[in-house]
Amino acid sequence: MSTRVVLQEADITRALTRIAHEIIESNKGTDSLVLLGIPTRGVNLAQRIGALISSISGEEIPTGSLDVTMFRDDLARQPVRSPGPTIIPDGGVDAKTVVLVDDVLFSGRSIRAALDALGSVGRPQVVRLATLIDRGHRELPIRPDFVGKNLPSAREERVRVRLVETDGIDEVTIES
């Protein structure tokens, strides 16, 4: 198995900073903005993007997590997973612009599950999607609004995002 590093710490920081600026611009500011990360690494990325938006705008951005485990359509085929916490910021998501944040967008199935999970906690006005890596291979008609890096890859390759908060290092690798 060969492993190739495609993003390092500075690359990830630059991509997240660009995403933060794009979110502010798309939303025309930070009013009614809520960031929800999809566990595990999506939560860390949402917190980082929230901190970047706060440093740019001077406004505190509500950030939480949205566990999608029980909304997945592949539970029968996947190994048993422990649900993580869903943490909805004070003020909820009703009539807000919610940006779902995930580390890697691949088939689109996690995002479909996230939309179902989000519908169970409220009714946002708008839902957007931010992802650090978009590797293509969509099985569902889902497209990210904000992308750190488009990373074409073969289906059999594995894209791994490692973050300091969970893995002790910031990097994105492709394993083949």
pLDDT range class, residue 85, cuts 50, 70, 90: confident
Give the Å distances, CA to CA, from 61 to 36, 105, 111, 112, 134: 11, 23, 22, 24, 24
**pTM: predicted TM-score of the whole model, two decimal places:** 0.95
Interval 74-101 mean pLDDT: 85
Supply the DSSP symbol for 87: B
Q: What is the pLDDT of residues 8-48, one digit of tens each?
A: 999 999 999 999 999 999 999 999 999 999 998 999 999 99
pLDDT range class, residue 166, cuts 50, 70, 90: very high
For the sheet containing 3-8, what is the strand order? 3-8, 171-175, 158-162
Q: Is 151 helix (H, G, I), strand (E, B) or coil?
A: coil
- Phi, psi of 163, rounded to the nearest 5 degrees: -125, 150
pLDDT for 79 beyond 70: no
All structural domains of the chain, each given as residue ranges with its CATH number in brackets, are: 3-72+82-175 (3.40.50.2020)
How far apart are alpha carbons 172 and 104 in whole angstroms? 10
